[in-house]
Amino acid sequence: MAATSKHYLDVLTWVKSVIKSINHPLQDATAKKLIRNYFTMYGQKFTPDEKINIERDLRLELDVVTYKRKQLND
């Protein structure tokens, strides 16, 4: 699965969809790398405040997915 466009906002949408599709603990580390790589490639497109907010939202989404998965396994 890959982003269909190289536009930074389309890639951001793709990153969010990848995070939402995580279903295994080993994918968590890969998602963190994906977030880091996204900002390495496209971080200059955002103001510092936007970058902080977007990164926080992505990490929060990852935390939600991880928490839900743990709740299902308990």
For 17-24, what is the mean pLDDT?
Answer: 94
pLDDT for residue 36: 96
Q: Could you give the C-alpha distances from 64 to 1, 22, 52, 53, in angstroms and in order? A: 22, 11, 18, 16
Is residue 17 a contact partner of residue 62, using CB atoms and an 8 Å limit? no
Is 47 within a domain? yes
In a domain, 20, yes or no: yes
Q: Provide the pLDDT for residue 5.
A: 84
CB 63 within 8 A of CB 22: no
DSSP 30: H
In a domain, 24, yes or no: yes
Structural domain including 18 reads 8-73
Domain-embedded: residue 31: yes
Task: Count the domains in the chain.
Answer: 1
Question: With bands split at pLDDT 50, 70 and 90, how would you rate the model's confidence at 1?
Answer: low
Q: Are 22 and 31 in contact (CB under 8 A)?
A: yes
What does DSSP assign to residue 4? S
Summarised one tens digit per residue, pLDDT across range 25-70 is: 999 999 999 999 999 999 999 999 999 999 999 999 999 999 998 8
- On the question of pLDDT at 72 being above 90, the answer is no
Whether residue 3 lies inside any domain: the answer is: no
